[in-house]
Protein backbone atom coordinates (compact mmCIF):
# COMPACT_ATOMS: atom_id res chain seq x y z
CA UNK A 1 0.00 0.00 0.00
CA UNK A 2 2.55 2.54 1.02
CA UNK A 3 6.34 2.24 0.87
CA UNK A 4 6.70 4.75 3.68
CA UNK A 5 4.72 2.56 6.04
CA UNK A 6 6.89 -0.47 5.38
CA UNK A 7 10.12 1.48 5.65
CA UNK A 8 8.98 2.96 8.95
CA UNK A 9 8.13 -0.54 10.17
CA UNK A 10 11.66 -1.69 9.29
CA UNK A 11 13.00 1.26 11.27
CA UNK A 12 10.83 0.50 14.29
CA UNK A 13 11.99 -3.10 14.27
CA UNK A 14 15.66 -2.15 13.96
CA UNK A 15 15.43 0.36 16.80
CA UNK A 16 13.57 -2.12 18.96
CA UNK A 17 16.32 -4.68 18.46
CA UNK A 18 18.85 -1.97 19.25
CA UNK A 19 17.00 -1.32 22.51
CA UNK A 20 17.06 -5.04 23.29
CA UNK A 21 20.82 -5.17 22.71
CA UNK A 22 21.36 -2.14 24.95
CA UNK A 23 19.11 -3.65 27.62
CA UNK A 24 21.18 -6.85 27.47
CA UNK A 25 24.38 -4.87 27.94
CA UNK A 26 23.03 -2.82 30.84
CA UNK A 27 21.60 -5.82 32.66
CA UNK A 28 24.99 -7.56 32.48
CA UNK A 29 27.05 -4.61 33.69
CA UNK A 30 28.04 -6.60 36.78
CA UNK A 31 28.37 -10.01 35.10
CA UNK A 32 31.98 -11.22 35.31
CA UNK A 33 33.78 -11.47 31.96
CA UNK A 34 30.71 -10.22 30.07
CA UNK A 35 31.48 -8.69 26.68
CA UNK A 36 29.15 -5.98 25.50
CA UNK A 37 27.37 -6.31 22.17
CA UNK A 38 28.17 -3.62 19.69
CA UNK A 39 25.39 -2.24 17.47
CA UNK A 40 25.84 -1.92 13.76
CA UNK A 41 23.43 -0.15 11.45
CA UNK A 42 23.66 -0.23 7.68
CA UNK A 43 21.31 1.11 5.06
CA UNK A 44 19.36 -1.21 2.79
CA UNK A 45 19.48 -0.06 -0.79
CA UNK A 46 17.60 -1.27 -3.83
CA UNK A 47 18.90 -0.80 -7.28
CA UNK A 48 18.15 -2.12 -10.71
CA UNK A 49 19.66 -5.49 -11.57
CA UNK A 50 22.43 -5.63 -14.13
CA UNK A 51 25.34 -3.42 -14.96
CA UNK A 52 24.88 0.09 -13.80
CA UNK A 53 25.99 3.33 -15.31
CA UNK A 54 28.58 4.81 -13.00
CA UNK A 55 28.22 7.80 -10.72
CA UNK A 56 24.52 8.53 -10.90
CA UNK A 57 23.29 9.03 -7.35
CA UNK A 58 19.67 9.24 -8.51
CA UNK A 59 18.86 5.57 -8.50
CA UNK A 60 20.28 4.89 -5.06
CA UNK A 61 17.00 4.28 -3.35
CA UNK A 62 17.10 3.53 0.34
CA UNK A 63 14.36 1.20 1.52
CA UNK A 64 15.25 0.66 5.12
CA UNK A 65 17.94 -0.07 7.62
CA UNK A 66 19.71 -3.23 8.70
CA UNK A 67 20.79 -3.79 12.25
CA UNK A 68 23.18 -6.31 13.68
CA UNK A 69 25.14 -6.75 16.86
CA UNK A 70 28.12 -8.79 17.89
CA UNK A 71 30.01 -9.36 21.12
CA UNK A 72 33.08 -7.14 21.42
CA UNK A 73 35.37 -9.88 22.69
CA UNK A 74 38.58 -8.00 21.91
CA UNK A 75 37.80 -5.28 24.41
CA UNK A 76 39.24 -6.24 27.79
CA UNK A 77 37.42 -5.63 31.05
CA UNK A 78 39.09 -4.55 34.25
CA UNK A 79 40.73 -7.37 36.23
CA UNK A 80 39.57 -7.28 39.83
CA UNK A 81 41.08 -9.24 42.70
CA UNK A 82 38.52 -11.34 44.57
CA UNK A 83 40.85 -13.46 46.72
CA UNK A 84 38.88 -16.62 45.97
CA UNK A 85 41.10 -19.38 44.55
CA UNK A 86 38.16 -20.60 42.47
CA UNK A 87 38.14 -17.41 40.38
CA UNK A 88 40.10 -17.23 37.19
CA UNK A 89 40.62 -14.29 34.86
CA UNK A 90 42.44 -14.06 31.55
CA UNK A 91 44.59 -10.96 31.30
CA UNK A 92 44.68 -10.77 27.51
CA UNK A 93 42.52 -11.65 24.54
CA UNK A 94 42.63 -15.47 24.64
CA UNK A 95 39.92 -17.99 25.47
CA UNK A 96 39.86 -21.28 27.36
CA UNK A 97 38.57 -24.16 25.27
CA UNK A 98 35.70 -26.19 26.72
CA UNK A 99 34.20 -29.52 25.75
CA UNK A 100 30.47 -29.03 25.26
CA UNK A 101 27.92 -31.67 26.31
CA UNK A 102 27.64 -32.91 22.70
CA UNK A 103 31.37 -32.76 22.11
CA UNK A 104 31.27 -29.37 20.40
CA UNK A 105 33.92 -26.77 21.01
CA UNK A 106 32.94 -23.93 23.31
CA UNK A 107 35.01 -20.99 24.46
CA UNK A 108 35.18 -19.39 27.89
CA UNK A 109 36.63 -16.10 29.04
CA UNK A 110 37.16 -17.19 32.62
CA UNK A 111 35.10 -16.61 35.74
CA UNK A 112 34.38 -18.88 38.67
CA UNK A 113 35.23 -22.51 38.06
CA UNK A 114 34.26 -25.61 39.98
CA UNK A 115 35.21 -29.25 40.25
CA UNK A 116 32.62 -31.73 38.99
CA UNK A 117 31.70 -34.90 40.88
CA UNK A 118 34.08 -36.98 38.77
CA UNK A 119 36.90 -34.54 39.57
CA UNK A 120 36.91 -32.74 36.24
CA UNK A 121 37.71 -29.06 36.29
CA UNK A 122 34.74 -27.18 34.83
CA UNK A 123 33.14 -23.76 34.46
CA UNK A 124 30.63 -22.46 36.99
CA UNK A 125 27.73 -23.93 35.02
CA UNK A 126 29.35 -27.34 34.77
CA UNK A 127 30.96 -27.52 31.33
CA UNK A 128 34.27 -29.39 31.55
CA UNK A 129 37.50 -27.93 30.22
CA UNK A 130 38.80 -29.51 27.06
CA UNK A 131 42.20 -29.99 28.71
CA UNK A 132 40.52 -32.70 30.84
CA UNK A 133 42.16 -31.81 34.12
CA UNK A 134 41.14 -34.21 36.92
CA UNK A 135 41.47 -32.88 40.44
CA UNK A 136 42.37 -35.60 42.99
CA UNK A 137 39.74 -36.15 45.65
CA UNK A 138 42.16 -35.38 48.50
CA UNK A 139 43.21 -31.97 47.11
CA UNK A 140 42.62 -29.17 49.61
CA UNK A 141 43.08 -26.34 47.16
CA UNK A 142 44.18 -25.57 43.61
CA UNK A 143 46.95 -23.36 42.36
CA UNK A 144 46.98 -22.10 38.80
CA UNK A 145 50.15 -20.58 37.39
CA UNK A 146 50.22 -17.71 34.98
CA UNK A 147 50.99 -20.10 32.13
CA UNK A 148 47.98 -22.30 32.90
CA UNK A 149 49.68 -25.12 34.78
CA UNK A 150 47.30 -26.44 37.44
CA UNK A 151 48.64 -27.77 40.72
CA UNK A 152 46.66 -29.61 43.37
CA UNK A 153 47.72 -28.82 46.91
CA UNK A 154 47.05 -31.71 49.26
CA UNK A 155 46.01 -31.41 52.88
CA UNK A 156 49.60 -32.15 53.88
CA UNK A 157 50.85 -29.28 51.71
CA UNK A 158 52.19 -31.50 48.95
CA UNK A 159 51.92 -29.90 45.50
CA UNK A 160 51.18 -32.10 42.47
CA UNK A 161 51.12 -30.97 38.84
CA UNK A 162 47.78 -32.21 37.45
CA UNK A 163 47.77 -30.72 34.00
CA UNK A 164 47.83 -27.51 32.02
CA UNK A 165 45.38 -25.25 30.24
CA UNK A 166 46.08 -23.64 26.91
CA UNK A 167 44.73 -20.41 25.60
CA UNK A 168 43.22 -20.33 22.15
CA UNK A 169 42.71 -17.51 19.76
CA UNK A 170 40.23 -17.10 16.96
CA UNK A 171 41.33 -16.26 13.48
CA UNK A 172 37.87 -14.99 12.77
CA UNK A 173 36.17 -12.93 15.43
CA UNK A 174 32.81 -12.75 13.72
CA UNK A 175 31.54 -16.27 14.13
CA UNK A 176 31.15 -16.19 17.92
CA UNK A 177 27.72 -16.84 19.35
CA UNK A 178 26.97 -16.01 22.94
CA UNK A 179 25.63 -18.73 25.25
CA UNK A 180 24.70 -18.65 28.93
CA UNK A 181 27.28 -18.24 31.63
CA UNK A 182 29.98 -16.38 29.72
CA UNK A 183 30.45 -19.25 27.26
CA UNK A 184 30.66 -18.75 23.51
CA UNK A 185 29.89 -21.17 20.72
CA UNK A 186 31.88 -21.02 17.52
CA UNK A 187 30.72 -21.84 14.02
CA UNK A 188 31.87 -25.05 12.37
CA UNK A 189 34.08 -23.10 10.00
CA UNK A 190 35.87 -21.23 12.77
CA UNK A 191 39.64 -21.37 12.71
CA UNK A 192 40.87 -21.89 16.26
CA UNK A 193 44.55 -21.68 17.02
CA UNK A 194 45.72 -23.24 20.25
CA UNK A 195 48.78 -21.60 21.77
CA UNK A 196 50.36 -21.47 25.17
CA UNK A 197 49.56 -18.63 27.53
CA UNK A 198 51.69 -15.56 27.04
CA UNK A 199 52.26 -16.11 23.35
CA UNK A 200 50.97 -13.87 20.58
CA UNK A 201 49.40 -11.41 23.00
CA UNK A 202 46.86 -13.90 24.29
CA UNK A 203 47.64 -13.03 27.86
CA UNK A 204 48.07 -14.98 31.09
CA UNK A 205 45.89 -16.72 33.62
CA UNK A 206 45.30 -14.79 36.81
CA UNK A 207 43.98 -16.87 39.67
CA UNK A 208 42.00 -15.20 42.45
CA UNK A 209 40.77 -12.47 40.15
CA UNK A 210 37.78 -11.88 37.95
CA UNK A 211 37.44 -9.88 34.77
CA UNK A 212 34.69 -7.29 35.04
CA UNK A 213 32.31 -6.71 32.13
CA UNK A 214 33.44 -4.22 29.50
CA UNK A 215 30.08 -2.43 29.50
CA UNK A 216 30.37 1.35 29.80
CA UNK A 217 27.13 2.57 31.34
CA UNK A 218 27.55 6.14 30.07
CA UNK A 219 27.87 4.93 26.53
CA UNK A 220 24.89 2.60 26.90
CA UNK A 221 22.71 5.39 28.32
CA UNK A 222 23.50 7.64 25.37
CA UNK A 223 22.79 4.75 23.00
CA UNK A 224 19.49 4.16 24.81
CA UNK A 225 18.41 7.78 24.33
CA UNK A 226 19.34 7.76 20.65
CA UNK A 227 17.52 4.48 20.01
CA UNK A 228 14.44 5.69 21.88
CA UNK A 229 14.26 8.95 19.93
CA UNK A 230 14.86 7.18 16.63
CA UNK A 231 12.06 4.79 17.50
CA UNK A 232 9.71 7.68 18.26
CA UNK A 233 10.65 9.40 15.00
CA UNK A 234 9.79 6.27 13.03
CA UNK A 235 6.50 6.04 14.93
CA UNK A 236 5.75 9.61 13.80
CA UNK A 237 6.14 8.48 10.20
CA UNK A 238 3.70 5.64 10.82
CA UNK A 239 1.19 8.15 12.19
CA UNK A 240 1.65 10.53 9.27
CA UNK A 241 1.16 7.73 6.75
CA UNK A 242 -1.88 6.52 8.63
CA UNK A 243 -3.40 9.99 8.50
CA UNK A 244 -2.58 10.12 4.82
CA UNK A 245 -4.29 6.82 4.15
CA UNK A 246 -7.37 7.87 6.07
CA UNK A 247 -7.40 11.05 4.01
CA UNK A 248 -7.19 9.01 0.83
CA UNK A 249 -10.02 6.78 1.97
CA UNK A 250 -12.12 9.85 2.72
CA UNK A 251 -11.74 11.18 -0.79
CA UNK A 252 -14.79 9.33 -2.02
CA UNK A 253 -17.91 10.71 -0.45
CA UNK A 254 -21.29 9.13 -0.59
CA UNK B 1 -11.69 16.59 -18.47
CA UNK B 2 -9.99 19.48 -16.81
CA UNK B 3 -6.89 17.99 -15.24
CA UNK B 4 -7.87 19.05 -11.73
CA UNK B 5 -8.32 15.45 -10.61
CA UNK B 6 -4.92 14.62 -12.11
CA UNK B 7 -3.26 17.47 -10.23
CA UNK B 8 -4.78 16.19 -7.00
CA UNK B 9 -3.46 12.70 -7.75
CA UNK B 10 0.00 14.06 -8.45
CA UNK B 11 0.04 16.00 -5.19
CA UNK B 12 -1.01 12.99 -3.18
CA UNK B 13 1.42 10.54 -4.74
CA UNK B 14 4.26 13.07 -4.42
CA UNK B 15 3.40 13.43 -0.75
CA UNK B 16 3.60 9.68 -0.37
CA UNK B 17 7.01 9.56 -2.03
CA UNK B 18 8.26 12.26 0.34
CA UNK B 19 7.02 10.31 3.32
CA UNK B 20 8.90 7.23 2.10
CA UNK B 21 12.15 9.18 1.74
CA UNK B 22 11.69 10.70 5.21
CA UNK B 23 11.03 7.22 6.58
CA UNK B 24 14.26 5.97 4.98
CA UNK B 25 16.22 8.91 6.44
CA UNK B 26 14.82 8.35 9.92
CA UNK B 27 15.62 4.64 9.61
CA UNK B 28 19.25 5.50 9.07
CA UNK B 29 19.69 8.15 11.72
CA UNK B 30 22.31 5.92 13.39
CA UNK B 31 23.90 4.49 10.24
CA UNK B 32 27.49 5.66 9.87
CA UNK B 33 28.30 7.57 6.70
CA UNK B 34 24.61 7.79 5.69
CA UNK B 35 23.68 11.00 3.92
CA UNK B 36 20.13 12.27 4.10
CA UNK B 37 18.08 12.06 0.89
CA UNK B 38 15.56 14.63 -0.18
CA UNK B 39 12.90 14.65 -2.88
CA UNK B 40 13.36 17.44 -5.37
CA UNK B 41 10.37 18.40 -7.48
CA UNK B 42 10.65 18.55 -11.20
CA UNK B 43 8.08 18.76 -13.93
CA UNK B 44 4.81 16.93 -13.47
CA UNK B 45 3.68 14.83 -16.37
CA UNK B 46 -0.05 15.44 -16.63
CA UNK B 47 -0.60 12.69 -19.17
CA UNK B 48 0.54 9.95 -16.83
CA UNK B 49 -0.19 11.89 -13.66
CA UNK B 50 3.15 10.67 -12.31
CA UNK B 51 5.45 13.03 -10.46
CA UNK B 52 8.85 13.29 -12.01
CA UNK B 53 10.51 13.99 -8.71
CA UNK B 54 14.09 12.94 -8.15
CA UNK B 55 15.62 11.69 -4.96
CA UNK B 56 19.08 13.03 -4.27
CA UNK B 57 21.53 13.60 -1.46
CA UNK B 58 20.42 16.64 0.52
CA UNK B 59 23.77 17.88 1.77
CA UNK B 60 26.79 16.38 0.13
CA UNK B 61 30.12 16.10 1.86
CA UNK B 62 31.01 14.61 5.17
CA UNK B 63 28.96 15.67 8.17
CA UNK B 64 30.57 17.86 10.75
CA UNK B 65 32.74 16.00 13.20
CA UNK B 66 33.68 12.40 13.64
CA UNK B 67 32.53 10.21 16.49
CA UNK B 68 35.08 8.27 18.53
CA UNK B 69 34.19 4.61 19.08
CA UNK B 70 37.54 3.16 20.11
CA UNK B 71 37.03 0.08 17.94
CA UNK B 72 40.20 -0.74 16.01
CA UNK B 73 38.18 -1.64 12.92
CA UNK B 74 36.06 1.50 12.72
CA UNK B 75 37.50 3.90 10.19
CA UNK B 76 36.47 7.32 8.93
CA UNK B 77 37.88 9.52 6.20
CA UNK B 78 38.79 13.11 6.89
CA UNK B 79 38.95 15.39 3.87
CA UNK B 80 37.82 15.03 0.30
CA UNK B 81 38.19 11.36 -0.47
CA UNK B 82 36.15 8.23 -0.05
CA UNK B 83 36.48 4.56 0.75
CA UNK B 84 35.13 1.94 -1.61
CA UNK B 85 33.12 -1.08 -0.62
CA UNK B 86 32.58 -3.85 -3.10
CA UNK B 87 29.05 -5.15 -3.27
CA UNK B 88 28.67 -7.94 -5.76
CA UNK B 89 29.82 -6.51 -9.07
CA UNK B 90 29.58 -2.87 -8.08
CA UNK B 91 31.21 -0.37 -5.79
CA UNK B 92 29.66 1.81 -3.14
CA UNK B 93 31.54 4.87 -1.92
CA UNK B 94 31.36 5.75 1.76
CA UNK B 95 33.28 8.05 4.04
CA UNK B 96 33.23 5.77 7.04
CA UNK B 97 32.86 2.06 7.73
CA UNK B 98 32.49 -0.22 10.75
CA UNK B 99 34.44 -3.25 9.68
CA UNK B 100 34.90 -6.79 10.83
CA UNK B 101 36.86 -9.76 9.55
CA UNK B 102 35.06 -12.43 7.63
CA UNK B 103 36.14 -16.08 7.59
CA UNK B 104 39.01 -15.36 5.21
CA UNK B 105 40.44 -12.45 7.18
CA UNK B 106 38.98 -9.97 4.68
CA UNK B 107 37.61 -6.71 6.08
CA UNK B 108 33.88 -6.37 5.46
CA UNK B 109 31.20 -4.10 6.86
CA UNK B 110 28.02 -5.21 8.65
CA UNK B 111 26.29 -5.78 5.31
CA UNK B 112 29.14 -8.02 4.10
CA UNK B 113 30.57 -5.50 1.63
CA UNK B 114 34.35 -5.84 1.26
CA UNK B 115 36.61 -2.83 1.71
CA UNK B 116 38.86 -2.12 -1.27
CA UNK B 117 42.63 -1.71 -1.12
CA UNK B 118 44.65 0.91 -2.98
CA UNK B 119 44.72 -0.21 -6.59
CA UNK B 120 41.70 -2.47 -6.13
CA UNK B 121 41.08 -5.82 -4.50
CA UNK B 122 39.73 -6.77 -1.10
CA UNK B 123 41.67 -5.91 2.04
CA UNK B 124 42.82 -9.12 3.72
CA UNK B 125 44.61 -8.63 7.02
CA UNK B 126 44.36 -12.07 8.61
CA UNK B 127 44.42 -12.31 12.38
CA UNK B 128 45.87 -9.85 14.87
CA UNK B 129 44.92 -6.36 15.93
CA UNK B 130 45.60 -3.96 13.08
CA UNK B 131 46.97 -0.45 13.35
CA UNK B 132 45.76 1.73 10.49
CA UNK B 133 47.90 4.73 9.58
CA UNK B 134 46.52 7.96 8.17
CA UNK B 135 47.53 7.07 4.63
CA UNK B 136 45.66 3.77 4.86
CA UNK B 137 48.63 1.48 5.52
CA UNK B 138 47.55 -1.41 7.72
CA UNK B 139 50.11 -2.71 10.21
CA UNK B 140 49.55 -6.06 11.89
CA UNK B 141 52.12 -6.82 14.60
CA UNK B 142 54.27 -3.99 13.25
CA UNK B 143 54.36 -5.37 9.71
CA UNK B 144 52.78 -3.49 6.84
CA UNK B 145 50.22 -5.90 5.40
CA UNK B 146 48.21 -3.90 2.92
CA UNK B 147 47.00 -0.40 2.19
CA UNK B 148 43.37 0.73 2.28
CA UNK B 149 42.50 2.70 -0.82
CA UNK B 150 41.39 6.33 -0.82
CA UNK B 151 39.52 7.22 -3.98
CA UNK B 152 38.13 10.28 -5.70
CA UNK B 153 34.51 9.35 -5.31
CA UNK B 154 32.82 12.72 -5.65
CA UNK B 155 29.87 13.64 -3.49
CA UNK B 156 27.63 11.05 -2.01
CA UNK B 157 27.41 7.35 -2.66
CA UNK B 158 28.14 6.29 -6.17
CA UNK B 159 27.51 2.86 -7.45
CA UNK B 160 29.82 1.88 -10.22
CA UNK B 161 30.72 -0.98 -12.46
CA UNK B 162 33.36 -3.21 -10.87
CA UNK B 163 35.59 -2.96 -13.91
CA UNK B 164 35.88 0.80 -13.51
CA UNK B 165 37.81 1.65 -10.38
CA UNK B 166 37.62 5.35 -9.48
CA UNK B 167 40.84 7.31 -9.54
CA UNK B 168 42.95 7.19 -6.39
CA UNK B 169 42.98 10.31 -4.29
CA UNK B 170 45.89 11.94 -2.51
CA UNK B 171 43.49 14.06 -0.46
CA UNK B 172 42.13 13.02 2.87
CA UNK B 173 43.31 10.73 5.61
CA UNK B 174 41.98 7.63 7.31
CA UNK B 175 41.31 7.93 11.02
CA UNK B 176 41.17 4.70 12.99
CA UNK B 177 38.72 4.28 15.85
CA UNK B 178 36.26 6.85 14.54
CA UNK B 179 33.07 6.79 12.48
CA UNK B 180 31.43 9.56 10.50
CA UNK B 181 27.87 9.76 11.86
CA UNK B 182 24.93 10.15 9.49
CA UNK B 183 23.89 13.71 8.69
CA UNK B 184 20.17 13.11 9.21
CA UNK B 185 18.62 15.98 11.16
CA UNK B 186 15.52 14.73 12.99
CA UNK B 187 13.99 18.23 13.11
CA UNK B 188 14.40 18.63 9.38
CA UNK B 189 12.80 15.25 8.79
CA UNK B 190 9.81 16.12 10.98
CA UNK B 191 9.33 19.33 9.01
CA UNK B 192 9.56 17.39 5.75
CA UNK B 193 7.00 14.96 7.11
CA UNK B 194 4.60 17.74 8.09
CA UNK B 195 5.05 19.39 4.70
CA UNK B 196 4.25 16.10 2.99
CA UNK B 197 1.14 15.67 5.14
CA UNK B 198 -0.07 19.16 4.27
CA UNK B 199 0.66 18.55 0.61
CA UNK B 200 -1.53 15.45 0.76
CA UNK B 201 -4.27 17.39 2.54
CA UNK B 202 -4.13 20.11 -0.09
CA UNK B 203 -4.38 17.50 -2.82
CA UNK B 204 -7.38 15.94 -1.11
CA UNK B 205 -9.01 19.37 -0.73
CA UNK B 206 -8.44 20.16 -4.40
CA UNK B 207 -10.11 16.92 -5.32
CA UNK B 208 -13.06 17.54 -2.99
CA UNK B 209 -13.67 20.99 -4.47
CA UNK B 210 -13.52 19.50 -7.92
CA UNK B 211 -15.95 16.80 -6.82
CA UNK B 212 -18.29 19.44 -5.37
CA UNK B 213 -18.14 21.38 -8.61
CA UNK B 214 -18.97 18.34 -10.67
CA UNK B 215 -21.85 17.47 -8.35
CA UNK B 216 -23.25 20.95 -8.54
CA UNK B 217 -22.94 21.04 -12.32
CA UNK B 218 -24.77 17.73 -12.58
CA UNK B 219 -27.56 19.04 -10.36
CA UNK B 220 -27.88 22.20 -12.37
CA UNK B 221 -28.07 20.23 -15.59
CA UNK B 222 -30.72 18.03 -14.04
CA UNK B 223 -32.75 21.10 -13.04
CA UNK B 224 -32.55 22.47 -16.59
CA UNK B 225 -33.85 19.28 -18.10
CA UNK B 226 -36.93 19.28 -15.87
How far apart are the C-alpha atoms of A238 and B22, rounded to whole Å? 11
Q: Does A27 touch chain B (CB under 8 A)?
A: no
On whether any CB of chain A is under 8 Å from the CB of B197, the answer is yes
Pick from A3, A66, A226: CB nearest B20: A3
The radius of gyration of chain B's CA atoms, rounded to the nearest angstrom, is 25
- Residue A236 forms contact with B (CB below 8 Å): yes
- Report the gap between the CA of B144 and the closest CA in chain A (Å): 17
Contact B132, B96 (CB under 8 A): no
Residue B201 near chain A (CB below 8 Å)? yes
Give the pLDDT of residue B155: 53
* pLDDT tens digits for range A196-237: 766 766 788 999 999 999 999 999 999 999 999 999 999 999
B 34-53 → A contacts, CB under 8 A: 34, 37
Reference A40, options A68, A63, A75; nearest CA is: A68
A173·B57 Cβ contact <8 A: no
DSSP string, A100-122: -TTS-EEEE-EEEEEE-TTSBEE
To test the contact with chain B by mutation, choose from A188, A240, A252 the residue with the greatest count of B C-beta atoms within 10 A, namely A240
Whether ipTM exceeds 0.90: no
In this predicted structure, which of A4-8, B163-167, B174-178 has the lowest mean pLDDT?
B163-167
Q: What is the pLDDT of residues A82-125, one digit of tens each?
A: 988 889 998 888 888 888 888 788 888 888 888 888 888 888 88
Pure H helices in chain B: 4-27, 186-225
A173 pLDDT tier (thresholds 50, 70, 90): low
Rounded to a whole number, what is the distance in Å from the CA of B30 to chain A's nearest CA? 6
Measured CA to CA, the distance from residue B112 to residue A209 in angstroms comes to 38
Amino acid sequence: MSGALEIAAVGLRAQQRALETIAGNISNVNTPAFKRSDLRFSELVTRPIGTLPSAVPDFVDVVGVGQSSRPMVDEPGKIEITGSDRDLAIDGSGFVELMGPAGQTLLWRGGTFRVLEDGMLATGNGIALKAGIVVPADAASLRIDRDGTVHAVGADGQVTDIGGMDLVKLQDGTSLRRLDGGVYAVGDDADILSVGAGEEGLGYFVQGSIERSNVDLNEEMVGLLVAQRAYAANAQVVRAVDEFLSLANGLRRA
Amino acid sequence: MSGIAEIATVMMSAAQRRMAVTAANLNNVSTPSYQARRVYSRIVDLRTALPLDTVAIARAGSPAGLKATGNALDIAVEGGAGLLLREGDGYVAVNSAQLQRNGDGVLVDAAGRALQAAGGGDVAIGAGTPAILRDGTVLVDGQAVTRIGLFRTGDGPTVGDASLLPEPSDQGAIIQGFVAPSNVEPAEEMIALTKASRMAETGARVFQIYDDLLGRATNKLGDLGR
